[in-house]
């Protein structure tokens, strides 16, 4: 069984992974229990390139009790197809735009791992 734990352990090591349905080939990121296309629950782990483009973003302003702010939450369409939400890492907020190429970069703090995206090059 491929779990969210596997997904985040891989992410922590710098590897973005998805799962592919063994029946219909649907690719899902992050892992889930049942395939949304065929309801099967047999998956294989597949490595992803981590490259994609921003499709939408929302800037979290430097207010209140969020010490990391300002940063942005982005939705990235991966080159392999699925869209994944993540946090910006080392991306100037003024450079954010739909279509901006980015690359997966894990944000590790203590035992927490968050999906992040940084500059593509
Ligand atoms: Zn399927």
pLDDT one-digit tens code per residue, 11-64: 999 999 999 999 999 999 999 999 999 999 999 999 999 999 999 999 988 777
Pinpoint the alpha helices (H) of the chain. 4-12
**CA 43, CA 107: separation in Å to the nearest integer?**
26
Query: How far, in Å, from the CA of 30 to the mean position of ligand 1?
Result: 15
Query: How far, in Å, from the CA of 68 to the mean position of ligand 1?
Result: 38
pLDDT one-digit tens code per residue, 88-101: 999 999 999 999 99
- Both structure tokens of 34: 């049942």
pLDDT one-digit tens code per residue, 59-84: 988 777 666 778 899 999 999 999 99
Query: How far, in Å, from the CA of 75 to the mean position of ligand 1?
Result: 23
* Residues by chain with Cβ below 5 Å of ion ligand 1: 21, 23-24, 26, 35, 37-38, 40
Burial of 94 (0-12, 13-18, 19+ CB in 10 A): exposed
pTM for the model: 0.89
Contact 12, 113 (CB under 8 A): yes
β-pairing, 83-88 vs 112-119, is parallel
């Amino acid at each position: 069984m491929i779990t969210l734990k596997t997904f985040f352990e891989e992410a922590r090591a710098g590897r973005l992974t998805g799962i592919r349905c063994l029946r219909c080939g649907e690719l899902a990121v992050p892992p889930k229990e049942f395939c949304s296309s065929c309801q099967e629950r047999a998956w294989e782990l597949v490595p992803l390139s981590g490259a994609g483009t921003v499709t939408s973003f929302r800037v979290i302003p430097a207010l209140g009790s969020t010490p990391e702010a300002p940063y942005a939450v982005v939705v990235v369409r991966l080159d392999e197809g699925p869209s994944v939400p993540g946090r910006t890492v080392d991306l100037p907020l003024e450079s954010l735009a739909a279509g901006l190429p980015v690359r997966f970069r894990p944000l590790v703090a203590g035992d927490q791992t968050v999906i992040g995206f940084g500059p593509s090059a």
